Structure 1
């Protein structure tokens, strides 16, 4: 233990204070998830080859991200989630290279494929200069070993078998096995750290606290949260001093919600799965979606601190399920305006179509970072509108307001959150509806189209839906900001 603690002390030569954004402050932000290797190259190339099927490094770096931060900020995103930064298992295996950042070899060294320590410091600084928070993805569950024979001596600092659980595959139906078993296969095993061991836990906590402090990290994304006991997460999130959001990859509300006792929030997998199933097809069950959303609210401590997402690096892109722009816009509306902290995976705005991993990890530079004929204008307007709602005077701030759900038939849903009314459908054909619960004669703005609407004497709006989502808000509440939102 003495040797390992010495390594920690060597690594922690300088300390800096982070912005240390609180969980409450993170509610006000909208996060753009980056995969460092696939977002932007430092040479600015828009044509450099990158076949996701090959599972190899494509050349994206931290300098590349810096060069394209304006692309992110102009869409209104105020935080970035960055891939893990540490040195990876080297070389090509039967399951590819460690371009994603989840195959740790050396906890105390930087991934030089992504750049130098100075480059990473510059990235965080460039984000902060734009008023953007930085969420760092950290992997504390496992290290990586190519091949069947485990070379423990190559893993730093945990260079002995005693730091790991015994090698056994995971039974995903057993929680003890999920926490103690190993992910991977004969091509590449992921030796599972014994975080119940005090020496291991102490080192991981010290490393995490140092990284947050030294590099001014504002929040943490916790990889493989379900694979580590809740007691470890409770300790580390209690000590690290920044917002923690964990990954519990499960659609069962009863599995996900208890983890909020150990951290600030979780990825809202139940909501994502239910929304995708409900709105990507006319056969989707809107009632089932409502039940999941309501169940989350009743079972979880605070859904407003969850990350609301529709795509990520582990799940098929929405564009692989449907190419209908109206459906994709509907899910974008849920992504940004639902309860929780929005997270948009890079390329969702470009309507990329990659299916399962690795196809959902395309090079964004091949899109030329286009801002037309995609969802960039949609996300830009939604983020601007959300900022307006956050700044608006209200007895219940928008980020704390609780959504209520009202089915207007089997295929149309009205969601109310504060003064915002969302009208969403999974139909792709014209349908006439009546939306109630407005003030008599009230003038309203449909935010996405900037169309003016007026409620009748009964407080109803009669509309024809064409498959596009509607975001309706009282015009008097938007006042001087209407020009900002609608650009005219």
Structure 2
């Protein structure tokens, strides 16, 4: 009889007063879209029509009440929506009007502090979304009353109005305004010393007041790069920027100015590979590129935010309901290089389309912990947390491709060996001999999804049973026994 030991995942992490990039490298992040995650009340029947683009009632108290649900999946950090005061209807948090006042739709200062304290008691980190690029105004650009925006209450703090029409023009991206006559977004003159200093004063106080461990910075490509070193230094915590661009050389260059970025180049590659079932050479190429510190590569891909869903893009199941494909994509997200990020609702297999469709409320699901993907995510997070507890080099060991075909890829990241496929649920049952996995001759190897055991041949390879297009993850049995980890014999 075999069974899996589910470890206390939070025990692998400790919270420091100022969380560094090295501290964040080992975290696994659950993205909370605050207004749509959990109501303060325990009821789960309140309607939320995403097409109305209005508040649905999620709060910080609601988030705190569901931390067991989040931690049950093995997450060691959460990322919440921007917390500042908004224009009416700014449910997402990106239309701020006052940096020094909180969004009372989400709760009070005490509510936010209580959430932060609860996270700390669990050994978890708090990442807060911030918006350094712009403020918000409920109308056309020629109606903006700058005196109503705080603390930047004069037109001199903003770029003169011009519509942002061409994202490929860097100057236009940095100085022109996002928005329309429903909600305009006055573009802050972040290259101005007074504005930069004001932003630094604000972020320093925000981090201190609410015990924030990390920042997700919105619309980074719309801000001059030189702004970020001073801003992040003032914050004194880990900074991850949103560079929503699939060009690796363009996106990764921003890591010279901040700790990390959301890995959009890899996001597009993962989705092409597992949603569209493109050739595995796409994933291999982008994985190799991301870890290349030279031209086109990232400075440190072990700090990049790896994801396949968020609040701005269609959900993975919107394109395919094949459960095997999404399980492979999630396995890559969590077990490859980088800091894994899972967006709320992935565990419930939500299938919303592009914004606003991907911003569904979670409470109608009843926070079901018995769904296939809730357990899948929890188990793979367990693997990652277990691996870093057993090997001090696991997190910085760069994942490398040992072999690949058109529909299958084999990878090794230190003590974790992964086999992924995009055959989908129609994939048949067959034996696959590994290549380059580096086991010892005669060593017993355990595949931890099935708990099947294999013996490595004289070349250190094993013949793994594949079935139904599902992922496979291999560990040395000796490591599992030493760590009381997964698939340990009950006699142990």
Instruction: Give me the TM-score of the superposition, normalised by structure 1.
Output: 0.92
- Aligned with residue 389 of structure 1, among 381, 387, 390: 387
Shift in alpha-carbon separation, 1:455–1:485, aligned structure 2, 3 A: closer
CA distance in 2, matches of 1:347, 1:450: 28
Match of 1:273 in 2: 268
1:189 aligns with 2:184: yes
Matching residue of 1:307: 305
Matches for 1:213-252 after TM superposition, within 5 Å: 213-252=208-247
- Match status 1:209 vs 2:230: no
Match of 1:134 in 2: 126
Matched, 1:160 2:161: no
Q: Deviations over 1:193-225 (max 9, x none)?
A: 001111111111100011111211111111111
- Deviation of residue 461 (structure 1)? 2.5
Question: Judging changes above 3 Å, is the alpha-carbon distance between structure 1 residues 198 and 485 closer, same or farther for their aligned structure 2 residues?
Answer: farther
Instruction: Tell me the secondary structure at the aligned position of residue 232 of structure 2.
Output: helix
The residue that corresponds to 1:473 in the other structure is: 475
Q: CA, structure 1 residues 73+375, in 2 after alignment: closer, same or farther (shift >3 Å)?
A: same
SS at match of 1:230: coil
Question: Distance between the aligned counterparts of 2:466 and 2:16, measured in 1?
Answer: 50
CA RMSD of aligned residues (A): 1.7
Residues 1:18 and 1:169: Cα distance change in structure 2 (over 3 Å): farther
Distance in 1 (CA, whole Å) between partners of 2:335 and 2:78 is 18
Aligned to 1:418, which of 414, 431, 448?
Answer: 414
Matches within 5 A, 1:413-452: 413-428=409-424, 429-430=427-428, 432=430, 433-437=432-436, 438-452=439-453
Deviations 1:227-283 (A, max 9, x none): 11111001111232111000000010111111111111110111111011011234x
User: Could you say if the C-alpha distance between residues 485 and 63 of structure 1 is closer, same or farther in structure 2, counting changes exceeding 3 Å?
Assistant: farther
2:454 & 2:344 partners in 1: Cα distance? 34
The 1:320–1:486 alpha-carbon spacing in structure 2 relative to 1, beyond 3 Å, is farther
**Superimposed CA distance per residue, residues 404-452 of structure 1 (whole angstroms, 9 cap, x where no aligned partner):** 1134321110011112111111112216332133333321111223232
Contact 1:124–1:216 (Cα < 8 Å) also in 2:
yes
Q: Is the 8 A contact 2:215 2:237 kept in 1?
A: yes
Q: Extract unaligned runs of 5+ from structure 2.
A: 1-14
- Give SS of 2:268's match: helix
* TM-score normalised according to structure 2 size: 0.91
Match of 2:357 in 1: 359
How far apart, in 2, do the equivalents of 1:99 and 1:43 lie? 18
**Can you give the 5+ residue segments of structure 1 that lack an aligned partner in the other structure?**
1-16, 91-96
Equivalences, count: 463
Question: Which whole-Å deviations, capped at 9, do the CAs of 1:298-331 have from their partners, x for residues lacking one?
Answer: 1211111111111111111111122111111101
Q: Could you tell me which residue of structure 1 aligns to residue 315 of structure 2?
A: 317
CA contact (8 A) 1:296 1:303 kept: yes
